[in-house]
Structure 1
Amino acid sequence: MAILTRRLCLLGGATIAASPLLPRPLRAQEEIDLSPAQPHRVRAQKVEEAIRLLPRDLRLANAGKLTVATNPGRFPFGGYATDSCTPIGAEIDIAQLVADSLGLVLEVVPTAWADWPLGLISGKFDAVTSNVTVTEERKQRFDFSTYRNDLLGFYVALDHRLQSIAKPEDVAGLKVIVSSGTNQEQILLRWIEANRAKGLPNTEVQYYDDEAVLDLALQSGRADVYLGPNATSAFKAARVRKTRLVGTFSGGWPQTAEIAVTTKKGAGLAEPITVALNAQIEAGTYGRALARWNLSAEAIQRSRTNPPGLPAK
């Protein structure tokens, strides 16, 4: 029955009303809220400056609504609530702040990652919040309003002696777990080569396909540290409470990588969304929204429209 309910929900978007009262954020000692009602979701008031920037001839996918696509594939970015139906997560919370700011009702459309570009270009939805990194190639077809740094995180067991990894040299002599074929693996291997050229101790690289085995390696001391996407590791650390963060690096190292609300090129939505995000940054609602999902380390100080993106490989 849960599977059937989920399929029925996917036929339409999940609609959330605009202009509510602001609820309190979750306290650090509380469990992460996975309920469909999301009573602790951070909400925002209208931002008149952002609303004035909306094009007069703007055609939304659904009148009066901001229709936003997201991929509810993995928390904290997005997943389904305990009803196996309602999409929730950090990306939905950011979309909510934007919709509230623009005086629109949020409609969330669960979308496979591979399908969001065509859906955005065709007008099926107005925006995407799905951990999309700004790249120069994507900027040719889409506009961007940044809202998060794309970070990699180093995590150790709670009782590990290691306190900080602040530079590539700090991984010398450590046993580091990383996933094969990933961007973070390539960065780590470049660091190891550079450290070797400096005569520093070698770094042992470990690979695990099974997450349970990976966790055991960290807890038993067979490995010192895990390097992976900060967001997913931060969410797990907050829920399981067996690991802690000791350092972050840009996912585009040595370039800075940023995550952004993605809209169709020339649709006229990017600048209003950027203004809306900056208003919420200043109001503190943005920071509270990230804190709900343990993503404060990825917060930006100011949203930018179409900043320099990662270069084409």
Structure 2
Amino acid sequence: MSNSLSPFLLTGVLLVALSATSCAAVSDASPQSTGNPSAVATSPALPVDEKARELLPENIRAAGVLRVASDPTYAPFEYFDTDNKTMIGWDIDFTDAVGAMLGLKIEHVPATFDTILPGLASGKYDMAASFFSVTPEREKIVDFVQYINSGSGVAVLIGNPHKITMDPVTMCGRTIAGQKGSIQSMAILPAFSTKCTDAGHEPVNIQNFPSQSDANLALVSGRVDGVAADSVTLAYQAKEANGKFELAKGEDYQPEPIGLALNKNSGLKAAVTEAVRDVLSSDHYQAISEKWGVPDSVLVRADVLAAK
């Protein structure tokens, strides 16, 4: 890219590119929680952290509301309840807890994933909670406050007929699906394919689909041999698929920080970091994870924010 691009144009280009690199739902039906959604109140009775509240920008503190955008297609983190208008999920409960710590009401705003970062940059939203991977490229555009750590997995048909594992060599010559624009389709699967060709094997045949739901349907119908996405959501959706697919064996690939996204000019990072630290230290963090079936292995300690 030429250095003659203006900063404004460069920011716009990066936003368009980066907003597409995340995950979306992997379901072939509207998901229902396999956890226990009634176990924790949506609006937690958590005490206000006055130190965190004092760090809020005056306009936010006066308004009393924090607008949080999420793409409601990614169970168990954010998706529509049976009324098709109320967002529920782990991220919803977590950000409600952050709001409680700040003494703010959370207004959950549904948005398509590729519009969230541009909307955040334009001031349409105050915060974004849509399971964003924290990457150096994104950090050029928005601020992040980490709250979880998760890696990628591969879903295969039940019984794993092609013997695929998280070892890339087992995917050589196989057709593996990913959501178009996702980290899996743009970076991880190409890296796996390169490992195959470097070892003298056939490359991975990468098939990109408009949504993760489409990729999932391709797996169930036998058009692809596997689907790459975030492992936690794949595991959740496997339960929802009534035994149609399962996670391939092996360690998650490249676990990375997942964070709340904030406009760099919002002045919110200090207050949100303090509130997130409070939630990570509370029993509520563990409780909502048990509620939504999110494993302990991806949870983080409050001290991950010590140097932020």
TM-score bucket (shorter structure): 0.5 to 0.7
Question: What letter corresponds to residue 191 of structure 1 in structure 2?
Answer: F
Q: Secondary structure at the match of 1:244?
A: strand
Contact 1:66 1:106 in 2 (8 A): yes
1:166–1:307 Cα change, 3 Å: farther
| CA–CA distance in structure 1, aligned partners of residues 282 and 164 of structure 2 | 31
C-alpha distance in 1 between matches for 2:100 and 2:57: 20
Partner residue of 1:236? 237
Give the C-alpha shift of residue 158 in structure 1: 4.0
Paired with 1:134 and 1:149, the residues of 2 have a C-alpha distance of 10
Q: Hey, which bits of structure 1, 4+ residues long, moved more than 6 A?
A: 161-164
2:276 maps to 277
Equivalent residue runs for 1:73-84 within 5 Å:
73-84=73-84
Shift of 1:166: 5.1
Q: CA deviation at 1:162?
A: 8.7
Query: 1:264 Cα shift?
Result: 2.5
Q: Distance in 2 between matches of 1:282 and 1:306?
A: 12
Of Structure 1 and Structure 2, which has the larger fraction of its residues in helix? 2
Verify the 8 A CA contact 1:179 1:228 in the aligned structure 2.
yes
Which residues of 2 match residues 224-303 of structure 1 at below 5 A?
225-242=226-243, 243-245=245-247, 246-250=249-253, 253=254, 257-296=256-295, 299-302=298-301
The CA distance in 1 between the partners of 2:117 and 2:206, in whole Å, is: 35
The answer (yes or no) to whether the contact 1:154–1:248 under 8 Å persists in 2 is no
- Structure 1 unaligned residues grouped into runs of 5+: 1-30, 309-313
**How many Å separate the matches in 2 of 1:206 and 1:134?**
24
Equivalent pairs counted in the alignment come to 265
Instruction: Kindly report the root-mean-square deviation, in angstroms, between the aligned alpha carbons of the 2 structures.
Output: 3.9
Within 5 Å, give how 1:34-183 maps onto structure 2. Answer: 39-41=38-40, 44-46=44-46, 50-54=49-53, 55=55, 57-60=57-60, 63-160=63-160, 165=165, 167-169=167-169, 171=170, 175-179=174-178, 182=181, 183=183
**Which residue identity does 1:296 align to in structure 2?**
P
Structure 1 232/282 Cα, relative in aligned 2: closer, same or farther at 3 Å?
Answer: same
Aligned position for 2:219: 214
Q: Is the 8 A contact 1:166 1:248 kept in 2?
A: yes
Q: What is the CA-CA distance between 1:215 and the residue it aligns to? A: 1.0
CA distance in 2, matches of 1:134, 1:289: 22
CA distance in 2: counterparts of 1:33 and 1:276, whole angstroms: 28
The normalised TM-score by structure 2 is 0.67
TM superposition shift of 1:77? 3.5
Structure 2: how far apart are the matches of 1:83 and 1:34? 18
Q: Which runs of 5 or more residues in structure 2 are unaligned?
A: 1-31
Give the letter for the 2:222 counterpart: A
Name the amino acid aligned to 1:244: E
- For residues 61 and 117 of structure 2, the distance between their equivalents in structure 1, rounded to whole angstroms, comes to 15
Q: Per the alignment, do residues 153 and 287 of structure 1 end up closer, same or farther by CA in structure 2, a change over 3 Å counting?
A: farther
Q: Using the TM superposition, give the Cα deviation of residue 257 of structure 1 relative to its aligned residue in structure 2, in angstroms.
A: 3.4
The CA distance in 2 between the partners of 1:56 and 1:128, in whole Å, is 17
SS in 1 for 2:288: helix
For the residue of structure 2 that corresponds to 1:59, the secondary structure is helix
In structure 2, relative to structure 1, the CA distance for the partners of 1:215 and 1:138 (3 Å cut) is: same
